[in-house]
Chain A
Amino acid sequence: GEDVEQSLFLSVREGDSSVINCTYTDSSSTYLYWYKQEPGAGLQLLTYIFSNMDMKQDQRLTVLLNKKDKHLSLRIADTQTGDSAIYFCAESTRSGNTPLVFGKGTRLSVIA
């Protein structure tokens, strides 16, 4: 079945860039997502990328997709303490009403 893998921890200094990486196995993935979970809160969709795109930028966030290597990354520029959270990579293999397949999440700690 589909699988999504991410590293579990990342620690960066405030003001630096953070790069969170994810790999997935299903070559038929249609959409790939980054969700953020803050303590006590639900999963909040940060951004997504369609599989025919290589890059998507949204303010401080840059998503890079390498379909050949099945690798997705999320870069957060000028990381702030408020960015400390767990970041989940997810994919869905078709459009419409399909379940999301998640990774375990990467805990980002931002050091002031």
Chain B
Amino acid sequence: EPEVTQTPSHQVTQMGQEVILRCVPISNHLYFYWYRQILGQKVEFLVSFYNNEISEKSEIFDDQFSVERPDGSNFTLKIRSTKLEDSAMYFCASRARTSGHNEQFFGPGTRLTVL
């Protein structure tokens, strides 16, 4: 069964460093999302992406964040200068164009630890 994959599973970085989190969505999906979950908190929406552009973003998704679909398979989230409060589990999701009930398929997540 097709699935969303994410790499790495765990990333440790120093405050102020740039990180890139990678996702490979399901191959025929057209909508892509990033969510994050700070330990003990809710899963929060960051950004959605369709047709090579951001379609919606939350207040969390400030100028330090960017997303890109550099080729036909990868979908990346870049954090330019990480802060301690960026430590969280980051989930990528994708959705087929034909999903009438907005079914989003999630990857296993990348745990980001900022020291």
- Which residues between 10 and 37 of chain B lie within 8 Å of chain A, taking CB atoms? 31, 33, 35
The interface centre, meaning the residue of A41, A44, A98 with most chain B CB atoms within 10 A of its CB, is A98
A88 at interface, CB cutoff 8 A: yes
* Complex CA distance for A34 and B8, rounded to whole angstroms: 26
| Cross-chain contact B42 with A102 (CB below 8 angstroms) | yes
| Contact of B105 (CB < 8 Å), options: A4, A45, A96 | A45
Known: A97-B48, A98-B56. A31 touches B102 (CB 8 A): yes
Residues of chain B at interface, number, CB under 8 A? 30
A99 and B33 form a contact (CB under 8 A): yes
B102 adjacent to A96 (CB under 8 Å):
yes
Task: State which of A42, A90, A105 has its C-beta within 8 Å of the C-beta of B108.
Answer: A42
A interface footprint on B92-114 (CB within 8 Å = 1, 0 otherwise): 01010000111111111100000
Distance, CA A41 to CA B103, complexed state (A) = 17
Contact residues in B for A95 (Cβ distance below 8 Å): 100-102
- Mark each residue of chain A from 79 to 101: 1 if its CB lies under 8 Å from any CB of chain B, else 0: 00000000010101001111111
Instruction: Give B contacts to A, CB under 8 Å.
Output: 3-4, 6, 31, 33, 35, 40-45, 48, 50, 55-56, 58, 91, 93, 95, 100-109
Query: Could you give 12 example pairs across A and B, Cβ below 8 Å?
Result: A35-B106, A42-B106, A42-B108, A43-B91, A45-B103, A48-B101, A48-B103, A88-B43, A97-B50, A98-B102, A99-B45, A100-B102
Additional pairs, 8, CB under 8 Å, beyond known A42-B105, A97-B50, A99-B33 = A42-B6, A45-B105, A88-B43, A90-B43, A97-B55, A99-B48, A100-B35, A104-B41
